Amino acid sequence: MRASVSKLLRVARLAACAAVAVVTAGSAAWVAEAKKPSPTAEPANAAKAEAVARVGADRVAVPAAVVARMGLTTAEVRVAHEPTKLPPFQGVLALDNDSMQRVHARFAGEVVELGTARDAGPAVDSSLPTPLRSHPVRVGDTVAAGQLLAVVWSKDLGEKKSELVDAVSKLKADELVQSRLRDLYKQGGTAERSLNDADRVVQADRVAVARVERTLKSWRLTDAEVRDLWAEAARLATPDGDAPKADAADWARVEVRATRAGTVLNKNVGVGDIVDTATDLFKLGDLTRLTVWAHVYEDDLPVFAALPKPVAWKVTLQSRPGVAYAGTLDQVGAIIDPGQHTALVAGTIANPEQDLKIGQFVTVTVERPADRGEFVVPSVAVVENGAESVVFVQPDPATCEFRRCPVRVLRRTRDGLFLRRDDGAAATLRAGDRVVLSGSLLLNEAMATLPNPAAAAAE
């Protein structure tokens, strides 16, 4: 037992001696290490020499070596000179409603004849007479103003013409009786009552003539046609009948003519049809100018409202690459489509060759005129965080100091971002300033992270 205890005591003394030796060795090593010069002193000084620092409330200084490693580049701020294209939108061609003609007959009746139009191409046999190279008016024909389209035989017109002739004839006969009674009365050959009765009859005849004449004119008979009716009445009143007779074939003839030049778009009549005054016999339209209907997104409407009037636009077709048709935007609809959130806009384009067709889909482009009061900068130059937009300007190309400049973006295009020159936020920009492109995000982070020396001095 005594031997075991002695053995344990010897082991404990050895362990204590070993621990003291380890502690002593460690202390000696730490002292020796402390006496050595620090290996990180020189790199720390170098890092300090290359540190980014704020030199003012809105300026940051970046060492040249850091600028090189960042790959920092700049671009020049320029004044807007060229017009900018707004995003294109889709549309469809339609007939100009202002040029639409709905051709009616002035009187109900039977269609007895159709007008003719010349064939577009030469006749197959040039020896044939010219009338055989014509055809009845059909859809697609171009007609001139005043060209005959159809002839309607109207019983109503014939009867009303006869009423006028009868009224005029009766007036002339009664005026003759009145004249003779007046002569007799002057000679004492008749009573005054008879002359007064003749005067009343003539006055009633004149009222009847005026009533029928006004009716015919309300049916849009021309003055020449009314004069012909007076001539016919004069012929009937001639005792010997030597006056020229009216043509019976023209007595109830109603000519339907185009009021202005256009293209026949619709034809609803044929020979033998019974028509009334409400029937659209023909529909004519001017295809040399077409309407464009297009949908513009609700967000773009303020831009269109701000454009100078009239708003010029260009129309292109996928089937005609490289060809553009000029026109103007005339109207912006007052209703927003709740499903698409678009407004219907309408305008016109010239189509002198009539190579554009109604119903074709088109792409519409509008250019916004240049505003000399605006600046243009590349999109990557602007740093946006949702609360504000800023750019970094290099006031002096010889130094690596950059000034933080808040801006207000007016609009965005593929050419860059537009800032208004006279805006309060953008007033610190000038044409020719150099703004940072690549590296602007890092500069903005440095401005947000580094302490403001002005604020530190105030404290």
* Per-residue pLDDT tens over the stretch 2-24: 344 344 334 334 333 333 333 33
pLDDT (average), residues 122-145: 71
Give the pLDDT confidence score for residue 293 in this predicted structure. Answer: 92
Nearest CA-CA partner of 103 in 119, 118, 120, 115:
115
Mean pLDDT of the chain: 78
Which long-range contacts link 276-279 to residues 24+ away (Cβ below 8 Å)? 276/105, 276/108, 277/104, 277/105, 277/106, 277/107, 277/108, 278/104, 279/104, 279/105
Question: Is the Cβ–Cβ distance between 325 and 315 less than 8 Å?
Answer: yes
* CATH number for the domain whose boundaries are 105-121+128-153+257-279: 2.40.50.100
| Measured distance CA(74)–CA(393) in Å, rounded | 9
Q: Percent of the chain having pLDDT more than 90? A: 15
Band (pLDDT 50/70/90 cuts) for residue 240 is low
The pLDDT confidence band at residue 431, using thresholds 50, 70 and 90, is confident
| pTM of the model as a whole | 0.57
pLDDT of res. 224: 83
Q: Check pLDDT > 70 for residue 447.
A: yes
| 334-357 per-position pLDDT tens digit | 888 888 888 888 988 888 888 899
Q: Would you call 28 helix, strand, or coil by DSSP?
A: helix
CATH number belonging to domain 89-96+286-368: 2.40.30.170
Q: How far apart are CA 368 and CA 303, in angstroms?
A: 9
Strands, E assignment, 104-260: 109-114, 116-118, 134-136, 142-143, 148-153, 253-257
Could you count the other beta carbons within 10 Å of the beta carbon of residue 150? 25
pLDDT on residue 27: 32
Q: Read off the pLDDT band of 456 (50, 70, 90).
A: low
Query: Tell me, what's the pLDDT at 126?
Result: 53
Contacts of 339 (CB under 8 A, 6+ apart): none
Confidence of residue 102 (pLDDT cuts 50, 70, 90): very high
State the architecture of 53-82+373-458 in CATH terms.
Answer: Beta Barrel (2.40)
| Token pair 């170098």: residue | 46
How much of the chain, in percent, has pLDDT values that exceed 70? Answer: 80
Question: What average pLDDT score do residues 325-329 get?
Answer: 87
Handedness of CA 32, 34, 40, 45 (dihedral sign): negative
pLDDT band, very low/low/confident/very high, at 36 (cuts 50, 70, 90): very low
What does the pLDDT read at residue 457? 57
Torsion of CA 349, 352, 357, 362, to 10 degrees: -30
Mean pLDDT of 164-180: 87
Report pLDDT digits (tens) over 246-296: 555 677 888 899 988 999 999 999 999 999 988 899 999 999 999 999 988
